Amino acid sequence: MIEDPKSMSLVRAMIRLGHDLGLEIVAEGVESVDQAASLRALGCDYAQGFYYSRPKDLSDLLAWLAEQPGPTSTPHSV
C-alpha cells in the first residue's frame, strides 16, 4: 500500500487527471505487491518496475518472454 496519506492523495489526483485527459496511466518504479495493489485500486492502467522484473539484456529478455504464458505483443496491465 501507499502508506503516506499525502502521497496517496497525489497519486490518486494524478491518475484522475490523466484519465480526465483521455490518457492511459503508467506507474514507474513499482517495487512491491502492495504498491501494485494500491495502484490497481486507484485505477492505474499499467505499471513497471523491479516488482515485475529487473532490467534484462536482449538475450535474457527474449528468453524470458518465450517462457511467459499468453501473447507477448500486448502490455501487461497492473
Confidence band for 75, pLDDT divided at 50, 70 and 90: low
22, part of any domain:
yes
77, part of any domain:
no
Note down the domain range covering 57: 5-67
- The closest alpha carbon to 54, from 35, 30, 77, belongs to 30
| pLDDT tens sequence across 4-48 | 899 999 999 999 999 999 999 999 999 999 999 999 999 999 999
58, part of any domain:
yes
The identity of residue 3, as a single letter, is E
pLDDT of residue 37: 94
More confident residue, 75 or 12: 12
Give me the number of domains the chain comprises.
1
Residue 50 is classified by DSSP as T
Q: Coil, strand, or helix at residue 74?
A: coil
